[in-house]
Structure 1
Amino acid sequence: MPVARRSHRALIALACAVSLVAASFADAAWLRQQRAAAGVRMGELVVQLQLTDLCLFTEARYTRHLSQADLHSAFQDHPLGLEHFPTGSLVPPPASLTAANERLDRETEVPD
């Protein structure tokens, strides 16, 4: 048996990797189809039990349920205090705060 070149070994490894990625997508599609009924039942249970929003983060109380957060709880120590939890930097400010100040730079007059 002839000795395989390094490029042939690399192509074989690449082909194996591509086939494994394709197999993982096929497996995900198969699992989605198998678990579709469970998702419908879970949605019905959420409606029946009147559950609240999804808990996105578990660290700070003001990042757990964004629709129910106290707007001033991020400044629980003092307004200039540093962020204690890294998830606070992942959550953008509410749209109501950004929409009012969106055009502020266009309305402000620049002094001479």
Structure 2
Amino acid sequence: MDFLISTAHAQQAGGGAQGSAIFNLLFIGGMFVLFYLMLWRPQSKRAKEHRELVAGLGKGDEVLTSGGILGKVTNVTEEYVTVEVAEGVQLNMQKSAVAAALPKGTIKSI
């Protein structure tokens, strides 16, 4: 009856499991590097640019708010900015609401 049973071949120990573990670690490390390059780095760069924009606001600057309001800065305090949106109409808002600084004369050209 020995001719009906095939011989079993054993693998050598240590070769397959160790290579797989190294591959898994490299794969996870690569995912973290990709995550950093695609998400964290650009977001921190945008946040830094916005902080610089808000810190550089001054009287007379023309700005666009995150709500879509165009206006000219008339007063700047530590946390708030006053924006004139029409003659005699001024709005007080937080500095963080300013989305962009526009070139001088933009409001008149609209």
Question: What range is the shorter-chain TM-score in?
Answer: 0.3 to 0.5
What TM-score, normalized by structure 1, do the two folds share?
0.34
Greater RCO (Cα-Cα under 8 Å, separation 6 or more): 2
Q: Structure 2 length normalisation: TM-score?
A: 0.35
Bigger helix fraction: 1
